[in-house]
Structure 1
Amino acid sequence: MFCMCNCNINSGEQLLSVLIQGVCAMNVKEFEKQLGVSVADIFQGKANNDLVWLVNTLDSLPDCLSYPLFADFISGYLSLNGLQSIESLKHQVRIKVDNLKTNLNWMDSQLVRLPQDSANTLKKMYLKKLERYPNGRSPNIWLRKKVKFILSSIRKCPIPLHHLSSEVSRTDNAYEWSNRCLKILENLTENQTKQVDPVKLITAVKQPAEQWDICPRLPDLEKMQQSLTQGDDVTYQLELIAKALVRLINVDWWRSQLTKVYQQYKEHIAIIVGKVRSGVSAYVSQSTLQEYQARKKANTEWLKMIMLVNEQHELELPLIKAVQASISNPVNRKIELMVRMRGFEQLAEENGYVGEFYTWTAPSKYHCWNKSESGKGYYNSSYQGATPSDTQKYLCKQWSKVRAKFARKEIETFGFRVVEPHHDGTPHWHLLLFFKPEQVELARQIICEYAVEHDKDELNITGDDFKPEDCNPRFDFKAIDPAKGSATGYLVKYIAKNIDGAYVDIDFEAESSGKHAAEGVAAWASTWRIRQFQQIGGAPVTVWRELRRRRQAITNDDILERARKAADSANWQGYIEANGGLDCKQGNRPVKLAKIVNEAANRYGEDIIKIIGVMAVKKVQTRLEGWELHKPQVENSKAEREAMISDALRSLSSGSCAPWRSDNNCTEESEDLYSQFEKQENIVEPDCYLA
């Protein structure tokens, strides 16, 4: 309501004029015209006291609710006769105000369990309904159902959400909940002096985590119990349980999990209340996008502060430069994906495979908001509360059924999968796959079969007698016609759209520029922990990246050198052919990673397996040991920094400076070492850059 503080008003007419402008955003003449009254005739002399009373009475109400009462009270003055009528009018106002206050207090009790930004959205919607229906019955029913649905849809949260809203509060809760697990562990083992059945132990210790619907990775406990009874070897299962126990009593693990819970909990509510949809904020809510941008900026600032130092080899370079040269750089990541996709296409052409492009989305019940032909988002009444990660798990489960049937039918395939969000954050898939010509129709039917396995009725499909052409919008396909365009061309838009938005003028789903939409997609993938790009078939990309670190020729190992040479020249087709070909099983490929084990090296006291190089007939090291992160103590000049970087690059055997473009014929001597460093593929691959 309009505030009376610090107002120098001498007459009722002046007071009313100010109030009208504050409450109604009108001038006096507009107000008089709307009500059909004259302000000068309403309040004169002692009647000013009634106006002051009205202001004080309505002061605690929102403007949208106080204006109707304000206008009714003023209009009522025209028909008042005597003191009794004035008191009666005031009494009516008091009853209405008390009723509204009761409803508002009840509203606050409902919204306190929700994040502040989502609660504010529901509050605005509720006030609009309360303005239309002042008795509150219809708005209250609506809000009760909305909050109940939200709380039943989101993951478990045993404490009020605002207790997780800050890093400090999440840390405090991490200590509390890790201690709960520790106390259970100590009580059952009598301070680690008593042996306990491992299945019973982990079942008890993980109970606090289950209240949050979180838990470390565990074996199938029922099958493990059967194996224990039968005396079978359960060493692997015991290792998983030991790893889980260490995490459950670890504060850092709990803090990480609670942060994820809070972010996803908050974003899921934002989806339900309509803050994530076309016309509002596509892919993620504005608050989540801003938090992602802030984390990304903070990470970048931290990277700029840190130097990579290798005292053993007397090397030093800025961490930010190493990250920019790695696959963490969106430009490098996009180019690598295109190189690999083009290599698959060349393999398909050479081996007589044909390509198909598929679009696969989840049933209607996974979508919170639909999109009208005009582009406006509207609520989907079929929605059952699934999160984007729930939907991704569903699609992955259906895809695993497809792969299993492919194996039974001996169907071979390779290609790529891209996951991107609909406007409301619900993921859907694009797949570019290659098949033998005689298998492509059967493969298409199998994929379609599992894409529409559930809720066929919404597609007007009954039974199993249907064709892929009948399954749109759940499933769609296009056969690749080389005469109309390359297979890679079908996927390039989705790769660019989901990485950096380059060369994408408009993202029609987000109704914004490609670059702006790409940042929203990145925030979406980070929040829901969804892997956007997945290679299907072919040789491992990690081996390819390790080979690209090695610039010098490899002697006495023709297989390794052939693979290295192909990788160094960005020839994905040649790399796969050198590493076993298309039909080779992953375990049988001749070129593998060379690894070492650092015992008890991580925060949980577990062994860390580190990649040091590649091997075929012999092992070849591609990484230097001894790198450490340091804050620079002295600010060096630009010339000194460039000299240090050049020295590091000159000595590093782990960097492949080969350009991604295979048609680049520049020699090594034609560029200075600093420029070569800018093109380096992955001297190091710090994960901290990816929020």
Structure 2
Amino acid sequence: MTKHTRSRTAPSPPPSFPGSGVVAFDWPYSWNAPKKGINPYTEEAKEKPQLTAAQKRRQRWIEITTDRERDRESQLSLLAQQRRGEDKAQSVLDTLMVQPDFIRSPLLARINAIRNSKKGNGEKLSRNYILRTIKTVMTRIERMRDKHLTFGLKLVARRERLDDLLRLPELDKRAVQLLATFTAAHFESLLDQQCKSQLSCDATQNKILRVYVTLGTEAERFGVIPPSWQSLNPYLRRRGEPPYDKIPGAISRLCCANWWFSKLWSLRCRWREELLRAAGLVRKQDSAYISADALAHFREQRRRTREFLKAFELTNDDGFSIDLEDAFYAGPSNPRHRRIEMMTTVKGMQEIAEMRGDCAVWCTITTPSRFHATKSNGRLNPKWTAQTVRDSNDYLVNRFFASVRKKLNRNDLRWYGIRVAEPHHDGTVHWHMMVFCRPDDRDDIIGIMQTFAIRDDRAELGNDITPRFKTELITAEKGSPISYIATYIGKNLDAEPLRKPNKDTGAPPVDHESGKSMADTVEHALGWASLHRIHQFQFFGIPSRQVYRELRRLATQLDRQGVDARKNQRLTDKAMDDVMSAADAGCIATYIMKQGGVLTPRRDHVVHTAYLQAEKPNDYGEHGIQIFGVWSPVLGEASRICTHPDTWTLKRKRKPASGEAERQGVDLEGEGAAAAPWTRGNNCPAARNPSDILENCTTEEGQEYKSFETMQPRERRQLLRRIRSQLPETGAAIPTPFVDCSTLPKVNPRLMKLLTLEGIEYTAGASILLQGSRLKVGDRTLFLTPSGQLKEQLTQQYCQGEMCCAPLHDADLIFGDVGLCLKCTEKRWGREEIELRQREVQQVTKDVQRKNEEALLGRLKRAVMRKG
């Protein structure tokens, strides 16, 4: 057997060579020879056979039939492809229809807008949108739902029959309150079981801690971090003994319905927001930073906060009262005050940097693309991995900033500045940092920040790292650090300075993330930070600003006492007095230098905040920590100075009775003439002798009389109960109005039975119905016909479809879509869908009737067996 070792085999033998006896060619291969020419004189041409007329007609028919079959097959293929597309679109729509209303409604509105956007092409565009975008949205929503519906949550929901946990984003406040009550009851029963099994008469602290860990592990299944979990859990605590004194308060919180309501409501709001974010409804085209649903809730919450501030006041031990609203807006809670304080702090840092010769660098840090739900153009991001807003914030805090800080400390590199957290248009967190450092250390610090900023998903950046990390050196030609940070502080805190038009363009500044005015997006940014619990502003490397506020408070108190700072030293210690004078003057740069300067450890600062344990326990039996004042660690406890001498109590304001309309019918001070009557009829009882009334009135000796307007609410209620219990008996009753009973229908036993079935008390409900009035029971309105029948008044509803205002009947409400009649529903889904719904209703009715018959038959069998 011959084995070929060559790489290929020639398709034909090689040409002959001289001396082989074979006729040689003038060309490389035989097929390269030219063909022999045709001589028309010597060669006969091939005759083409002639077809008969029948053969021609048959040949033509075959050609036409073949063309028709080809066209028919192509049309059938197109129809089949279209039908398959419609089936897929219907399948996606079915998946959309089972979603909650807060997801389904905006997406359906978007589909209808696309369908009605262009004439003749809307159906195709809407079908493509459903198959491409809505299908992707459903997948993203399912992934986000699976992330929140953990195995532990499903387990506890099935075991404790808390099914509402599985649909928490759909619940309202009332339902969440009920769920919180059931959850607290579950933890109370679990605590009782653990106490019976783990604790006894000789219970130790470790056994009690073991009970708490069991309760905390159960709370983690709900997606809630237990109170004091980081310090009490032995698996998370790094060093030291656990604080056993926190265990009673932590267990009390786990068994409290109010605590569970706050946790479950926060979880519900964030879960709901993440589902809307997965659906692509949080973006600059719809609602930037935060969804419209969460923004409406934030506005309502702020309105209720304003009403609460207006309704309460603060009262100290001396009886002096101030409005809670004035106290709230006088401190750092006022956005204007916070903005001014932060701008002053940045200016102080800038002055210190100029004095030290430090340079300022502006940095922008963005998270990897897996955290972004949508792209910058509003389209869905295919790289998104169901990461939440909290995940992006934790990435920047725990993975980026913590790593950079540790690396700088190991390399003995120091920095100070401020970081600002703000959202992208889809809610993802990104940072802006103003960093001050030595010019010699600038490249090393920026290099370390860049390393940790781009280390995750490095391949997606390529050679351009600016989408993830961008730096800019601030020079005198470009501007000052305060000019860089002013816009970011304003658009995330206070909209007032942003309403002024720009000097160059003449228009208000525009936010590049949302494309809207910065003043209009401030509310969105505040709602975003409140919903996701984002710390927007953080200074680092400078002394505490809380000490700065307490020193300014102390200086104001000393000024009120008449202590002149220009002539006398207000504090005993000169160092503490210098720090207080700098804070009182509002010079942050001097205050920082008097405290020890920037980059000084907090333990070496001259003045610290002094804290005190509260006298009164809270609702969980804990004595919390409150601010007492200031003190100096160098001087010890003797230097403690109180800046909060008063104890304030929160009380509801008394509504002042001012004006004739508000005081009509009330004359507490015995001045003026008789008050005007409230009605035109005389409702007074029969006249009596005053001596008879005085006989029934007794007066205790030594009884102290108080003015009604100065009484507390509790004293007013006690007085009201005492007056009601001591009312003298009246001689004559108030005459009842005349009622013509001849026109009233007769009350028969059937009416009594109907009233009982409706849950109406006969003495009250029947009397109202017999007088011709309508009785409202819940959402229903009942009335009595002249024939004595009880009827329900139904509110007429009308179709909301386009060009249709037909009244909705029972069949429309049962078989039609919500708010649509049967005709509009049939136009949308087809006649087959209506017939399918009718068959389903009939089947359900038959099943219910069959079950009722089986139950009745079972009762009859049991009755016959008892008689037998």
Aligned-partner SS, 2:375: strand
Distance verdict in 2 for CA 1:100–1:536, change over 3 Å: closer
Match of 1:570 in 2: 586
Aligned-partner SS, 1:446: helix
Paired amino acid for 1:625: D
Query: How far off is 1:413 after superposition?
Result: 1.1
Contact map agreement 1:121 1:273 (CA 8 A) in 2: no
Aligned-pair identity in percent equals: 26
Match of 1:212 in 2: 222
Match of 2:653 in 1: 632
Match of 2:458 in 1: 456
Contact map agreement 1:546 1:622 (CA 8 A) in 2: yes
* Separation in 2, partners of 1:292, 1:226: 36
> Which structure 1 segments of 5+ residues have no match?
1-94, 462-469, 639-691
CA-to-aligned-CA distance 1:304-332 (integer Å, 9 cap, x gap): 111111132x4221111111111111111
Among residues 546, 549, 553, which one is paired with 1:545 in the alignment?
Answer: 549
Contact map agreement 1:99 1:135 (CA 8 A) in 2: no
Match of 1:489 in 2: 483
| TM-score normalized by the length of structure 2 | 0.56
* Separation in 2, partners of 1:613, 1:256: 31
Contact map agreement 1:591 1:614 (CA 8 A) in 2: yes
Contact map agreement 1:579 1:589 (CA 8 A) in 2: yes
Matches within 5 A, 1:567-646: 567-598=583-614, 601-616=617-632, 617=635, 618-635=639-656
Among residues 256, 264, 268, which one is paired with 1:258 in the alignment?
Answer: 264
Match status 1:186 vs 2:192: yes
Among residues 73, 90, 102, which one is paired with 1:117 in the alignment?
Answer: 102
Query: How far off is 1:292 after superposition?
Result: 0.4
Match status 1:529 vs 2:494: no
Aligned-partner SS, 2:379: strand
CA-to-aligned-CA distance 1:182-215 (integer Å, 9 cap, x gap): 2222112218843474564344323442232212
CA-to-aligned-CA distance 1:319-370 (integer Å, 9 cap, x gap): 1111111111111110000000100111111112111110001000000011
CA-to-aligned-CA distance 1:596-655 (integer Å, 9 cap, x gap): 1125722222221111211224222211322111222253999xxxxxxxxxxxxxxxxx
Contact map agreement 1:347 1:573 (CA 8 A) in 2: yes
Match of 1:337 in 2: 342
Match of 1:390 in 2: 391
* Separation in 2, partners of 1:155, 1:585: 44
Match status 1:510 vs 2:504: no
Aligned-partner SS, 1:415: strand
Paired amino acid for 2:397: C
Distance verdict in 2 for CA 1:233–1:474, change over 3 Å: closer
Number of residue pairs matched? 522
* Separation in 2, partners of 1:222, 1:514: 45
* Separation in 2, partners of 1:437, 1:137: 56
Distance verdict in 2 for CA 1:279–1:122, change over 3 Å: closer
Paired amino acid for 1:604: Y
* Separation in 1, partners of 2:304, 2:520: 19
Distance verdict in 2 for CA 1:303–1:192, change over 3 Å: farther
Query: How far off is 1:300 after superposition?
Result: 0.6
Query: How far off is 1:568 after superposition?
Result: 1.3
Paired amino acid for 2:229: L
CA-to-aligned-CA distance 1:421-476 (integer Å, 9 cap, x gap): 00000010000011112111100001111111100001115xxxxxxxx5211000
Match of 1:21 in 2: none
Aligned-partner SS, 1:378: coil
* Separation in 2, partners of 1:226, 1:135: 54
CA-to-aligned-CA distance 1:16-71 (integer Å, 9 cap, x gap): xxxxxxxxxxxxxxxxxxxxxxxxxxxxxxxxxxxxxxxxxxxxxxxxxxxxxxxx
Query: How far off is 1:170 after superposition?
Result: 1.2
Query: How far off is 1:575 after superposition?
Result: 0.9
Decide which moves more: 409-418 or 175-184.
Answer: 175-184
* Separation in 1, partners of 2:130, 2:653: 65
Contact map agreement 1:613 1:621 (CA 8 A) in 2: yes
Contact map agreement 2:168 2:268 (CA 8 A) in 1: no
* Separation in 2, partners of 1:105, 1:577: 66
Query: How far off is 1:414 after superposition?
Result: 1.0
CA-to-aligned-CA distance 1:252-292 (integer Å, 9 cap, x gap): 22111011001101111111111110111100011111110
Distance verdict in 2 for CA 1:210–1:119, change over 3 Å: farther
Among residues 297, 301, 305, which one is paired with 2:303 in the alignment?
Answer: 297
Match status 1:235 vs 2:242: yes
Matches within 5 A, 1:153-164: 153-154=147-148, 156=150, 158=154, 159-161=165-167
Match status 1:439 vs 2:455: no
Match of 1:688 in 2: none
Contact map agreement 1:126 1:143 (CA 8 A) in 2: no
Matches within 5 A, 1:320-331: 320-331=325-336
Paired amino acid for 1:219: Q
Match of 1:268 in 2: 274
Paired amino acid for 2:491: K
Contact map agreement 1:164 1:258 (CA 8 A) in 2: no
* Separation in 2, partners of 1:412, 1:135: 56
* Separation in 2, partners of 1:378, 1:264: 22
> Which structure 2 segments of 5+ residues have no match?
1-82, 116-121, 155-164, 499-507, 559-564, 660-868
* Separation in 2, partners of 1:533, 1:118: 33
Among residues 271, 277, 287, which one is paired with 2:283 in the alignment?
Answer: 277
Decide which moves more: 290-299 or 190-199.
Answer: 190-199
Aligned-partner SS, 1:544: helix
CA-to-aligned-CA distance 1:222-253 (integer Å, 9 cap, x gap): 855999xxxx96233x4555554332222222
What's the C-alpha RMSD, in Å, of the aligned pairs?
Answer: 3.2
Contact map agreement 2:231 2:242 (CA 8 A) in 1: no
Distance verdict in 2 for CA 1:517–1:137, change over 3 Å: closer
Distance verdict in 2 for CA 1:293–1:134, change over 3 Å: closer
Distance verdict in 2 for CA 1:379–1:635, change over 3 Å: same
Contact map agreement 2:141 2:278 (CA 8 A) in 1: no
| TM-score normalized by the length of structure 1 | 0.70
Paired amino acid for 2:470: D
Contact map agreement 2:314 2:651 (CA 8 A) in 1: yes
Of structures 1 and 2, the one with the larger relative CO (CA 8 A, separation 6+) is 1
Distance verdict in 2 for CA 1:590–1:269, change over 3 Å: same
Query: How far off is 1:479 after superposition?
Result: 0.8
Paired amino acid for 1:212: F
Distance verdict in 2 for CA 1:345–1:147, change over 3 Å: closer
* Separation in 1, partners of 2:287, 2:594: 47
Query: How far off is 1:509 after superposition?
Result: 1.4
* Separation in 1, partners of 2:274, 2:388: 6
Query: How far off is 1:390 after superposition?
Result: 0.9
Query: How far off is 1:106 after superposition?
Result: 4.2
Distance verdict in 2 for CA 1:364–1:224, change over 3 Å: closer
Contact map agreement 1:110 1:147 (CA 8 A) in 2: no
Contact map agreement 2:216 2:229 (CA 8 A) in 1: no
Paired amino acid for 1:387: T
* Separation in 1, partners of 2:286, 2:273: 14
CA-to-aligned-CA distance 1:142-165 (integer Å, 9 cap, x gap): 565344223124465652435762
Contact map agreement 1:155 1:213 (CA 8 A) in 2: no
Query: How far off is 1:119 after superposition?
Result: 2.6
Distance verdict in 2 for CA 1:344–1:166, change over 3 Å: same
